[in-house]
Structure 1
Amino acid sequence: MSDHSRRTFLKAAGGAVGSAALLTGAASADGGTSGPDRRFLVDLREVSRSEVPDEVEIIHDISEIDVLAARGDPGAVPGSASTVADLRVYRHDKTPDGGPAKEHPAKGRGSPGPAWDSGEPTNTELQWDKRAQRVGDLTENPGNSWIVQDATTGEGTRVAVVDTGVYDHPDLEGVVNEELSENFTTDSYDFRPNGAGDHGTHVAGIIAGRNAGGDGILGTAPDTEILSHRVFSGVDGASGDVIAALVDAASKGCDAANISLGYPVPYVYPDEYPFLLEMKELYRRAAEYARERDMIIVNSAGNDALDMDQEGVLSLPTEVEGIFGVAATGPIGYLWDDEKPSREDKGLKKLEKSTAQPAKYTNYGGAVDVSAAGGNYDLDAYADGVEGWYYDLVFSSVYETNENGETEPGYGWKAGTSMAAPQVAGAIALVRSLRPDASATEVENLIRETATDAPGGETYHGAGHLDLRRLVERAR
C-alpha cells in the first residue's frame, strides 16, 4: 500500500472526530466574553474573590491555582484581564470515516463465545500494541524472554482518566474507584459516560484492562486504580472542567492524569486567536500544581499532522510547560495476511510498516516527549475495502447501546494520539509501582532515557519510542 502524504491524509480524513470547530456556548469563536449566560474562567490573580458578583454562578472553585470556572455575564466581573473564555475541548481520536470504534467482527459488543469459533483472531491476538511491547503473556508461544508484567502490574498506583467517562466493562471490573471518580460537567449524572461515547472506556482499557477470563483485553498496568473524571457531556467538553479535573486528580494523589484531548486546527494560531495564550497560562498553573504533588499530566499531541515547531503555532495543552506530550505510531499490515496457523508467530513480522512507524495523522515537533502506539491505517486499503485494514488501529474496551436502549460491553478499534497517551500513563503506573518515591521528573527521565530510536527520528518521537521492557528493567 502507498504511504500517503499527510496533506492527502488530512483531505480525506478532515471530517473525523477531533478536528471540529472550537467553542461551546461558553464563549464566542473570536474570544469575546460578553453576554448574559456564558461559561468563562475568572483569574483570581487579576481580581479578588470578593469582587466577583453574586449573580455569577461558580461552577468550579479551583482556588488551588487561583481560578474559578463560572457562568453568567463575564462583563460583570471587574477588569478586562480578569476573565478568560472557557474554550471547548475535543477528543484526540481519528479514523478515516470519522465514525465510532469499529467492533470486533467475530466477538462484537456483547456477543458470546471465543473468536476462534469463527476462525477470526482472538481479542488478545488483536492487541499488537501490547504484543509488540511484550506487556503480558498474550501468545501461545511466549518464547524464553521475560514479559513486562513479570516485573510489575502497576499495583499501588492511581491514574486519572480525564475523558468521556468510563463504562462498567468486564475487563475493567474492580479497576475504577467509584468513590473518588467524579463528574466535572454541569449535567446531573455520575462519572460514567453520558452521550459522549466510549472514548474514555477505550482509554481506560489501554491503561488497565484485566483480560477478564483470558478472552478480553490486557492493559499495561491492570492492577493500577483508575479515577474516572468525566469532562464531556454529550459531545461538549469545556476547558474549565478539564482544569478542575486535573487539579482534583493531583489533590487525590494520582500518579498520572491522562488527557487525550485538546484544540485542533485552526485553533493553534495565537496571533489569530489570542485567547489561546490566556488558556495556556491556566494549563501551566494546573501542570505546576500537579508536579508539586508529583503527578504527571500526559497529553496526546494531536491529530492534525501539525508541525508544532512552526513559527506562530501553539498546540494546547501539549506545548504547555510541565505536560508530557505523546505522539502516535502504528503498523501497516498487521494480520492482513490472516492465515490462522501462522498468526501466532508471524503477526508482527509480516508488516509493511513497523509498529513504531509515525501515524499519518500525528502532530510532531519539539513538544513531543516520546511516541507510543496510537494506531495507523492505509487509505488505499480503507478505500478498497481491504478486510482487516482496521487491525492496524488500537483494540480495546468499548460499549454500545442496543435497539432496546440497553448498554452492552464489547471490544473495538480506535486510532489517534488519544490511544498513544494512555500507553504512557500506564507506563508511569509501572514505574511508580517499582519506585513509589520517584519524583515526576525522575519518572519522566526514565521514560525518555529508555525510549528507543524509531523511523522519523526525534521530530516524530522526541526522546524515542516508548520501550516498556527497557523501562521496567531500569526501574527495578
Structure 2
Amino acid sequence: MKKVVIILIFFYPVFLTASETDTTTWNGKNVTFLAGEILVGLQSWADEGDIASTLSQINGVIIKDFDQLNIGLIKIQNNNNIHSAINSLKYNAAVLYAEPNIEMSVLSTYPNDPYYVGTAPPPYNYAHQWGLYNFGQNPPTGRTDADIDAPEAWDYETGSSSIKIAVFDSGIPMIGDSLSHPDLDDVSRIIIGEDFTTEQNTVKDSLGHGTHVAGIIGAETNNNEGIAGVAHGCKIIIFQTVAENGYGTVSSFYDAVIAAVDSGVQVINFSGGWVTYEETIKRAVEYADNAGIVQIYAAGNEAGDGLRFPARFAYGPKAIEVVDSVQGSLHLLQNWNAYGSVISVASTNSYDAQSSFSSYDPDSNYISVAAPGGEGSGWPSIVFGSSDIFSTTPNYPFAIQQGHPEVSTSYGYLAGTSMAAPHVAGIAGLILSRFTTLSASDVRNVIEKSAEDVNWRSMLGFDKYLGHGRVNAFYAVAPPVTPSNFSGTWYNTHPKISWNSNIEPDLKHYLILKNNVPYITTTNNYYIDFSESQYSIGNPKVYVSYKVKAVDITDQSSNSSTSLSFAINGGIEKKEAGEEIISEAIDSYGLFSNYPNPFNPSTQIVYQIPKEGFVNLTIYNTLGQVVQTLVNKKQTVGKYTVEFNANNLPSGVYIFKLQADEFSSTKKMVIAK
C-alpha cells in the first residue's frame, strides 16, 4: 500500500520502523496510519462525556485529551475495525468528524561563510549556495541570477530577534542536551521546542532532514563557518514532528501548530504533507491563520500528480470524488477554505526552471510561488549533488545516509520542495523584521507580488507550475530604485514629464512631486499637467518644478529623481536642477548593492556620505585593473545614484569601490550578456 508521505523533497529508502502502523483506503487514497488511532473533533457544545457510551461500544480509550479546539485522540483495541469504529463515532451527534491518524513523510551583506563565498578548502572551493546567489558558478552550472537575491536583500535586512520562525521537522543536531552543530548552536537564536513523535521529549535530529531545513532558514552567518542562512538574524524554534524513519502523523502536526501558536511564533515552515484531505489538518491551519501566523508549506515531490495538504489550503478546493464512509456513496468533497496566511511552494533548479519532481495540479492553480529546491538528478533514483541545495546536516551519522551515502556529515546536498519552502520562510522572516505591522496575508501578498516571473515554458504571468514565480528577497524588502531618464517637454501648452519604467514586479505606483509637495500618483511612466492655467500670461516667469518617486506595495519609496523646472509664463523654458541631495538625514557612509544585478548593459550604484568630502567611485575587473572611474570629486552630504553603462565590456564579475575620506567599501557586480 502507498505510504502517505509528508514532503521532504528528497527520495530515500526507509530502513527503520516506527510505532505499529496499518494501511487502509481513505478519501480515495491508500494511506498508512498509526494502528487503532482515531482523531475525533467534537461539536462546540459537546465534551468527552457525550461520547462515553460510543467509546465503550467500540472498545476505545482517550489517549490525548480534548483541547481548546475540542479535538482529541482515541485508540481502539481491534485495529481491523477502524472504519466500523469511525462510522460509530460519526453516528454520535456530539461528533463533528472522525478520521484515522494518518502518517506522513518528509519532502525533502556578503557573508564570510566559506561554503557561501567559495573559500572552503579544495576541492570544495566554490560557491555552494547558488539558491542565494547564482552567478553561473560551475559547479553546478546554471543561469546567472537564478536565485533569491539574498545578498542584495541583506543590505536592507538580515532578520530581527523579535521574529520567531517555527520549524516542524525531524529536529536539530544535539549531543546530550546541547546544540551540537557549529552553524546551529547559538542558544540566543535557536530555541528547543517540543518533541511530538516520541515520549523521549528530545528534538535531536536522527534523520537529517530537519537540520537541512533549519540551516536554509537561519544558519549562523558571518561566523567564518559553513554556510549562510536566509534570515540569520531571526530566531528559530524547533518542533519535532517527523521521526527518525522520515514519517510523522496528523496528530504530531496538529500538536505542533497548537504549541507554535502558544509560543508566539510569526512564521511556520513545514516541509511535509499528506495526499488526502484531513479535517484535523484543516482545523490546525485555520487555528494558525486566526492567530495571524504566516504558514509556509512545501507543495510535494510528485510532479503532475497534485499538491499535498496543507499546501493546497493556499487556494480553495476543486471538487474531489470520495466515498462516504458512513453511507458508502460517492459525493463531492468541497469543504475547505482558502487561507490568506498559507503559501504553497514549488521548486526551481539552477536554471530557473521548474524542478522535474515539483508537484502541481494539472487542472487547478494551487501553487503560490516557487523557490530554489534543486534538480534531484536521476529522479526517482536520485543521487544528490551540486545541482541541489547545500545546507547543514547533523554532525554525526544520520538515517538519510543509509540510502544516500553521498550526503556528507555536517554539510551536504539535498533536493525537493522541502528545500524550497524554507527559502520562502526565511524571506517571510525578513519581511516581518523590516515591516513589523504587516498581517500574515500582507506578507503573502508581498512575497507573491515581489516574485520574478521566470517564464518557464514561456508561460507569462501566474501559472499552475510556479504560481507567481520564483521568490526574490531583494524585491521583497528593498525600496524601488530611482526612476531613470527623467525628462520633460511641452504638450500643446502644458508640461509633459516622462521617465523609464521601473522593473520591480512589486511596484505600486509613481508619486509625482510638484514644487517638492506630493501632488499625484500614477501607474503610467509619463504625466501631463493641465493645471498650469492658473498662472496668467503677462506675469513674471513662474517656475514649476517636478520630481518623481517610485513606490512599492510596502509603501517604500525610492529617492526622488532629479528636478525639472518649467517656466510657465513669459516664454517656454526648461531648467534642470543639478545633482539631487535627498532631504533625509545621512549619518553614516554607505555603499549599496548595484541594481539590477546581474545586468546588461547598465546598472545603478547608490552610495551615501554623511559629510562633505572628496569621493572616488571606481570600477575594477577581477585582476584589479581600473575599468572606469565614475566619480572623482568633492561632494556634499547626501545620497547619490550613479549609472554605470557596460556596453563595451565583456560578461563577467567586476568590483566597484567607494572611497570617501576614511571610508572604503567594495561590492561585486555581474555583467551577463
TM-score by length of 1: 0.71
Q: Which of 386, 392, 395 does residue 397 from structure 1 map onto? A: 392
Distance 1:442 1:425 in 2: 14
SS at match of 1:204: helix
Decide whether aligned partners of structure 1 residues 118 and 302 sit closer, same or farther in structure 2, where only a CA change above 3 A counts.
same
Aligned residue in 2 for 1:292: 290
Distance 1:79 1:459 in 2: 36
SS at match of 1:51: helix
> Shift of residue 151 of structure 1?
1.2
Q: Which of 122, 125, 131 does residue 121 from structure 1 map onto? A: 125
> Shift of residue 258 of structure 1?
0.7
Aligned residue in 1 for 2:347: 328
Task: State the one-letter code of the partner of 1:247.
Answer: I
Q: Which of 310, 331, 335 does residue 317 from structure 1 map onto? A: 310
Aligned residue in 1 for 2:194: 182
> Shift of residue 210 of structure 1?
1.1
> Shift of residue 29 of structure 1?
1.9
Correspondence 1:204-353 to 2 at 5 A: 204-211=214-221, 213-235=223-245, 236-263=247-274, 268=275, 276-277=276-277, 279=278, 281-308=279-306, 315-320=308-313, 321-322=338-339, 323-331=342-350
Aligned residue in 2 for 1:469: 474
> Shift of residue 324 of structure 1?
1.5
Q: Which of 342, 355, 361 does residue 359 from structure 1 map onto? A: 355
> Shift of residue 188 of structure 1?
1.3
1:149 lines up with 2:154 in the alignment? yes
Task: State the one-letter code of the partner of 2:439.
Answer: S
1:159 lines up with 2:162 in the alignment? no
Report the structure number with the largest CA radius of gyration: 2
> Shift of residue 45 of structure 1?
2.4
SS at match of 1:41: strand
Distance 2:203 2:377 in 1: 35
Do 1:175 and 1:223's aligned partners in 2 also have CA atoms closer than 8 Å?
A: no
Distance 2:34 2:344 in 1: 37
> Shift of residue 376 of structure 1?
1.0
- Determine which structure has the larger helix proportion and give its number: 1
> Shift of residue 306 of structure 1?
2.0
SS at match of 1:160: strand
> Shift of residue 186 of structure 1?
3.0
> Shift of residue 191 of structure 1?
1.9
Distance 1:441 1:92 in 2: 25
> Shift of residue 91 of structure 1?
0.5
1:445-469 deviation line (CA, Å, top 9, x unaligned): 0111111111134222111110111
Decide whether aligned partners of structure 1 residues 415 and 37 sit closer, same or farther in structure 2, where only a CA change above 3 A counts.
closer
1:89-124 deviation line (CA, Å, top 9, x unaligned): 11112xxxxxxxxxxxx99xxxxxx964334325xx
SS at match of 1:294: coil
1:191 lines up with 2:203 in the alignment? yes
Task: State the one-letter code of the partner of 1:286.
Answer: A
Do 2:357 and 2:376's aligned partners in 1 also have CA atoms closer than 8 Å?
A: no
1:64 lines up with 2:68 in the alignment? yes
Query: What RMSD over aligned residues (CA atoms) do the two structures have, in Å?
Result: 3.6
SS at match of 1:306: helix
Do 1:18 and 1:303's aligned partners in 2 also have CA atoms closer than 8 Å?
A: no
Q: Which of 98, 103, 115 does residue 83 from structure 1 map onto? A: 98
SS at match of 1:257: strand
> Shift of residue 177 of structure 1?
6.0
SS at match of 1:428: helix
Decide whether aligned partners of structure 1 residues 133 and 36 sit closer, same or farther in structure 2, where only a CA change above 3 A counts.
closer
Task: State the one-letter code of the partner of 1:221.
Answer: A
1:172 lines up with 2:176 in the alignment? no
1:178-214 deviation line (CA, Å, top 9, x unaligned): 7661111233131222x4x110010000000113632
Q: How many residues align?
A: 378
Distance 2:25 2:102 in 1: 11
Do 1:27 and 1:86's aligned partners in 2 also have CA atoms closer than 8 Å?
A: no
Decide whether aligned partners of structure 1 residues 303 and 435 sit closer, same or farther in structure 2, where only a CA change above 3 A counts.
same
The answer for unaligned runs of 5 or more in structure 1 is 1-13, 94-105, 108-113, 135-144, 269-275, 309-313, 332-353
Decide whether aligned partners of structure 1 residues 238 and 152 sit closer, same or farther in structure 2, where only a CA change above 3 A counts.
same
Distance 1:202 1:243 in 2: 22
Decide whether aligned partners of structure 1 residues 402 and 285 sit closer, same or farther in structure 2, where only a CA change above 3 A counts.
closer
1:370 lines up with 2:369 in the alignment? yes
> Shift of residue 217 of structure 1?
0.8
> Shift of residue 438 of structure 1?
0.9
TM-score by length of 2: 0.51
Do 1:451 and 1:464's aligned partners in 2 also have CA atoms closer than 8 Å?
A: yes
Do 2:48 and 2:66's aligned partners in 1 also have CA atoms closer than 8 Å?
A: no
Decide whether aligned partners of structure 1 residues 36 and 391 sit closer, same or farther in structure 2, where only a CA change above 3 A counts.
closer
1:403-457 deviation line (CA, Å, top 9, x unaligned): 9xxxx96100000000000011111100110112211111100111111111134
SS at match of 1:128: coil
Larger RCO (alpha carbons 8 Å, 6+ apart):
1
SS at match of 1:87: strand
Aligned residue in 2 for 1:97: none
SS at match of 1:286: helix
> Shift of residue 148 of structure 1?
1.0
1:366-407 deviation line (CA, Å, top 9, x unaligned): 111000011114439x99x9xxx711100000025359xxxx
> Shift of residue 63 of structure 1?
2.5
> Shift of residue 79 of structure 1?
3.4
Task: State the one-letter code of the partner of 1:296.
Answer: V
Do 2:22 and 2:35's aligned partners in 1 also have CA atoms closer than 8 Å?
A: no
Do 1:60 and 1:244's aligned partners in 2 also have CA atoms closer than 8 Å?
A: no
Decide whether aligned partners of structure 1 residues 56 and 329 sit closer, same or farther in structure 2, where only a CA change above 3 A counts.
same
